Amino acid sequence: MALNSSLPPEFDRGVVTTVHQGDCHVSGAADITFSTVLGSCISACVRDKVAKVGGMNHFLLAEQSGAAKDRYGASARYGAFAMEQLINKVLSQGSGNKANLEIKIFGGGKINSALDDVGAKNIEFVRQFLADEGYLATSEDLGGNYARRVLFKPHSGRAFVKRLDSDVGVSVATQELALAKRRVVLPSVANDIELF
């Protein structure tokens, strides 16, 4: 599948795999690009820089709670699972050394007033998860009031972010709102991110 020619050349060829809400994909193939569209959701891109193996996930914390012990709500267990699943898959297919991982995080936009604080909670959650696990994001593009398309080359670790117009944002927000209302989650380095 060819991508839009306005993309950097590295992203304009090869195989594109879409990462949907609830998905986690990992590869070391040089011609693979992972692609996703995010509103309030979060996508982490994790890469073993030595083994040149990486992956992308996509998750939404659909519910929140005020309880101190369950600060982000029951669905945070899914967010933790999504992050652990991605990190473990990259480690098992890569060098197995946590020190070789680079992590980039995207999303958490406020694109619908009905999902008022979901994006912010998702950002807070992923940052806290990484801190608790001893990781530091090497780069990020979080927040804002727009949807974004994220492309990630797991072999090279390059990421490309395109901010999407409001029509796409409305569609993304509608899908996320439906998930949040059902309270169901589907099963399942700064200079190298280009903003377009």
The residue with tokens 């839009």 is 4
The residue with tokens 């959650």 is 125
Catalytic entry in 19, 38, 41, 161: 41
Q: Give, as one character, the DSSP assignment of residue 12.
A: S
Q: Is 41 a catalytic residue?
A: yes
DSSP string, 56-89: EE-B--------GGGTT-TTHHHHHHHHHHHHHH
CA distances from 180 to 127, 143, 173, 186 (A): 21, 18, 10, 11
Residue 165 has phi, psi (to 5 degrees) of: -70, 170
The strand pair at 24-27 and 137-142 is best described as unpaired
Q: How many Å apart are CA 165 and CA 68, to the nearest integer?
A: 37
Q: Contact at 8 Å (CB) between 65 and 173?
A: no
Q: Contact at 8 Å (CB) between 55 and 44?
A: no
Catalytic residues: 41
